[in-house]
Amino acid sequence: MLLIPCPWCGPRDETEFRYGGQAHVAYPGDPAALSDEEWARYLFFRDNPRGPFAERWSHAAGCRRWFNAVRDTASGEIHAVYRPGEPRPVTP
């Protein structure tokens, strides 16, 4: 089980959180202009790296706020957490 440091509440058990997948996936700026390929990319393709991954979590059983984390999918280590709107921090 992960110990996830909510940027507002501090470290809490993974069971308090909901997972939201890859972070920084913006809704298309001009949806009507997208080709089928571009729609497929937006809907179905997400990064799936073995290593650092910027992702979203919601502190569902706590403050109920969404935030971002950089977590290593190979080790489980959480390198950083940051609030929505903040840029992805540089992590080692």
Partner 1 sequence: MSTEQPGAVPPEHPDRLWDSPEPRGSYDVVIVGGGGHALATAYYLARDHGITDVAVLEKGWLAGGNMARNTTIIRSNYLLEESAGIYEHSLKLWEGLEEDLGYPILFSQRGVLNLAHSLQDVRDGVRRVNANRLNGVDAEWLGPEEVKEVCPIVEVSPDARHPVLGATYQPRAGIARHDHVAWGFARAAAALGVHLIEHCEVTGVEVAGGRARAVRTTRGRISADRVALCAAGHSSVVARTAGLALPLQSHALQALVSDLLEPVHPTVVMSNAVHVYVSQAHKGELVMGAGVDACNSYRQRGAFHVIERQMAAALELFPVFARAHVLRTWAGVVDVSPDASPVVGLTPVDGLYVNCGWGTGGFKATPGAGWCYAHTIAHGEPHPLNAPFSLERFTTGALVDEHGAAAVAH
CA–CA separation, 30 vs 53, rounded Å?
27
Q: 77 touches which of Zn ion, partner 1, none (CB within 5 to 8 A by kind)?
A: none
Q: 1 touches which of Zn ion, partner 1, none (CB within 5 to 8 A by kind)?
A: partner 1
Using an 8 Å Cβ cutoff, are 72 and 28 in contact?
A: no
Site for partner 1 in 47-66 (CB under 8 A): 48-50, 53, 55
Site for Zn ion in 23-82 (CB under 5 A): 59, 62-63
User: Residue 21: which of 40, 42, 46, 4 has the closest Cα?
Assistant: 46
Q: Which of 3, 9, 14, 64 binds partner 1 (CB under 8 A)?
A: 14
Helix (H, G, I), strand (E, B) or coil at 62: coil
